[in-house]
Amino acid sequence: MYSTRHLLHGLPPQGIGTLIVDRDRVRFIAGLLRGLGGFLECFERVDPQFGAVRLVVERLGCGKSAVLVVANSLVSYQLSTTGEVYWTEFAKWVVSSTGGLYEVHRGFLESTRFNRARLLDKLDRLSRFYASRLAAELEADPLRYCGNLPGLVEELARTMGGSPEDKTIAFAGKMLRYVCLACGSETRGDVAVPVDRRNALLLLAGCLVRGCGGSLDECVGLLMTRHKRTALAALRELCATAGVDCVKLDALTWALAGALTGRRRMDEILEAVKGCLGGERIEIVSGLYSEFSKCLEPRTRGV
């Protein structure tokens, strides 16, 4: 996690300030992103969460997988491990268990040591989703929303009570895209990038959002809560200016944030996508990593 002693570069360690989108930085980084063109899927294909989804699809089929994956997205917050570890454990559990989907999923949530925070709230969310019309529709016709991802997040927001831009609901849109890809179906339409810790970190570390004079922890937390609209505006503008779908961008930002926090090595990330991207685009990714750490003090990298 990020320590409160780690500050954003060049800002005083007191006072939060007013967070604003730096549109010059957005345009500059969007120019780099544009160079990746249609190759963001390279990062999706090597995302361990996609590997977890693919395992579930291969063992359980598309219908059950769509329900399980969307349901798990709704409770994937405040984890005590990385998303990669959590989703891998989830996939192994559900493919080796028997019983109804809700019972299997509830058993996993009650047993995992990685998702204990607010457990009763999460169990309630699971119960409401599995009892919904949407869950039944997804099991019967799992690819119905592949051609309309915005329709999925809108219906999910109505079902659960919330906004299509809420972190877990937007994340469910991304994860359903993974189900679609694993089932051999492309997707259409876009959904918001989830404003979670890693994307909030990148916005601050890349100078796309400026004005926070607190600690890194404070600034990330503020961008996820009171200033979430600022984060969403920055991410929407970045995607629109770069001409990329936000739902595809999230796999790249996941990888970059992993390198920035020391959870993954950048050379390993580049090696994983080298065959897909080629040399010129590898250089673009390296440049993006440098730009997305521009506003961090050097000692904060790899924490």
Which residues carry out catalysis?
Answer: 167, 196
Between the CA of residue 125 and those of 71, 74, 121, what are the distances in Å?
8, 7, 6
Torsion 202-227-82-297 (CA) sign: positive
Distance from C-alpha of 231 to C-alpha of 91, rounded to nearest angstrom: 31
Distance from C-alpha of 67 to C-alpha of 144, rounded to nearest angstrom: 12
Which tokens belong to 223? 């961008």
Using alpha carbons, select from 193, 188, 224 the residue that is nearest to residue 209: 224
Cα angle for residues 54, 117, 176 (degrees, 5° grid): 25
Residue showing tokens 């309309």: 148
215 beta partners: 7
Distance from C-alpha of 239 to C-alpha of 11, rounded to nearest angstrom: 27
Which tokens belong to 282? 């590898």
Distance from C-alpha of 251 to C-alpha of 86, rounded to nearest angstrom: 16
N- to C-terminal Cα distance for the chain? Answer: 7
Torsion 43-48-52-58 (CA) sign: positive
**Strand locations in the chain, DSSP E?**
20-21, 209-210
User: SS3 for 33?
Assistant: helix
H/E run at residue 63: helix 62-74
